[in-house]
A and B are shown apart, each in its own frame.
Chain A
C-alpha cells in the first residue's frame, strides 16, 4: 500500500520540480504582499511589529489559497484523476498523499521564508520562532481544508474565486489561533493554549478532510 502512495508522492514532487514556477509564484506572492504593507501603512517599527502576526498570517493564507486550484485541476484535465479512482487504494489516502505533496510544495516554503519577512516587520527572535512553529502547525490545516474546496470546484468555470468564497471563512480559526500565538509571545504570555488548539485542529483535519475531499472528487467525476 505504501508503495503506491509513495509513488504518487514522488510523482507530484517530480512534477513540481519540472515546473518550479508554480511553487515559486506562491512564495513570490507571499513575499510581495508582506512587503507591500510597510509601504502602505508607514515605516513606524513599533506599529509594524504589532501588525506583523496578522499580516504574515493573512498573506500566508492567501498564498496557499492561490495555489489550491492547481491541487486537483491538472489531474482532472488530463484524466489522471479518473485513473486514480481505479487505483486499488482508498481514494481518501490518495487524496491525503496529494495534499501532503501540496503542502511540501507550497506550505513548507512559506514556513521557511517567513523569518526573513518577520525581520522586515521588526519581530524579535522569540516571536519569529513562535511564528514559524505556528505556521508549521497551521499551513497543513490550510492545505487540508483547502483540498475540500479544490475538489468541490473541479471543472467549474471561475473555480478559483469560488474556492476563495468557500474556503476563506473556514480559514478563520487557524488564522485567529496562529496570529494569536505570536501575539501572546509578543505580550509576554504563554502561547501554549494556541499551539495546543492548532495541533488539535490539525489532527482533526488530518482525519476528517481526506474523506470529505474523496467524496467530493467522486461526485465531481461522476
Chain B
C-alpha cells in the first residue's frame, strides 16, 4: 500500500524562510527546503545547532520565530484533522507509560490517533523489533534500548506519510538498527517522507538529501 490511497499523496513538505531562537540566541535563519513524497532529509549539525528545534517546528509542536512550514498548501499548524493526521513524531522522550505494557502502550496510541487497534499487527511489529516475550511486561521493567524499540514500533504502526525522527538510533543495538533501516527504506518506497537527525552514519537506500545546520 502506498500513501496515495489515503488522499495525502503528492503533498510536499515545505519550509519557507524559517528561523528559530532559543533564549535570545539565533539557531538558524533563512532556511528553505522542500521535501517530496519518497524523499528523506537527514539533518546534521553539532550539539546545540538547532536540530531538535527544527524538528519540533516541522511537526508543529513549536512555533518558528520567523517563516512557515507548509504541508501541501496548508500551514502545518492548521491542517484539517490536526497535524497528527499527516505526521508521526518521535522525540527524545519515548512517550511510554511505565505502568502499562508495551502492547497496551501501542494499542492506546493507535486508538488515540483515531485508528482501529490491530493486536496482531502490534505483536508482529514488536516481534520484528526483537521484543517477542516482552509485550506483557510493564515498560518500566524494560531497558532503555527496549523502550526505544517500543516507541519505534508505535511510530511505525501509526503509518503516517511523514515520519519525523529525532535520534532514533540512540540506545539501539546493531540488529535493531538494521530492522529500522529496512523499515525506513520501505517507508520511502511507499512514497512516504522522512526527516531524521542522527549522529551515526547509516546508509539508507533511497532519495536521500542532507541539511547541515550551524
Contacts and interface: CB of A to CB of B under 8 A. Distances in A.
Given A88-B84, A88-B114, A11 B108 contact: yes
- Among A14, A86, A88, find the residue whose CB has the most chain B CB atoms closer than 10 A: A86
A87 B61 contact: no
A18 B113 CA distance: 23
A78 B94 CA distance: 7
A86 B91 CA distance: 12
Contact of B100 (A1, A15, A89): A15
Contacts of B83: 85-86, 88
Interface string A4-22: 1001101100110011000
A79 interface: yes
A85 B61 contact: yes
A126 B99 CA distance: 43
Nearest to B85: A88
A3 B91 CA distance: 26
A8 B112 contact: yes
A10 to B, nearest CB: 8
Contacts of A3: 111, 114
A51 B141 CA distance: 49
A86 B82 contact: yes
Contact of B114 (A80, A85, A89): A89
B63 A86 contact: no
Contact of B95 (A1, A4, A11, A83): A83
Interface in B88-129: 88-89, 91-100, 104, 108-109, 111-114
A78 B100 CA distance: 13
B59 interface: yes
A221 interface: yes
Contacts of A14: 100, 104
Interface residues of A, number: 24
Q: Chain A at the B interface: mostly helix, strand, loop or mixed?
A: helix
B18 to A, nearest CB: 15
Nearest to A15: B99
Contacts of B114: 1, 3-4, 87-89
B81 interface: yes
Q: Chain B at the A interface: mostly helix, strand, loop or mixed?
A: loop
Contacts of B104: 14
B89 A86 contact: yes
A4 B99 contact: no
B87 interface: yes
B113 A82 contact: no
Contact of B91 (A15, A79, A88): A79
Nearest to A12: B97
A84 B81 CA distance: 14
A85 B59 CA distance: 10
Contacts of B138: 18
A222 interface: yes
A80 B63 CA distance: 19
B183 interface: no
A15 B138 CA distance: 11
- Among B82, B92, B96, B100, find the residue whose CB has the most chain A CB atoms closer than 10 A: B82
A87 B97 contact: no
Contact of A86 (B87, B99, B100): B87
Given A4-B113, A14-B100, A78 B84 contact: no
Interface of B: 59-63, 81-85, 87-89, 91-100, 104, 108-109, 111-114, 138
In the complex, the 10 A-B pairs of residues with the closest C-beta atoms, listed nearest first: A79-B93, A86-B84, A88-B82, A7-B111, A79-B95, A18-B99, A88-B85, A83-B95, A80-B95, A88-B81
16 contacts: A3-B114, A8-B112, A78-B95, A79-B92, A79-B93, A79-B95, A82-B61, A83-B89, A85-B60, A85-B84, A86-B60, A87-B82, A87-B84, A88-B83, A88-B84, A89-B82
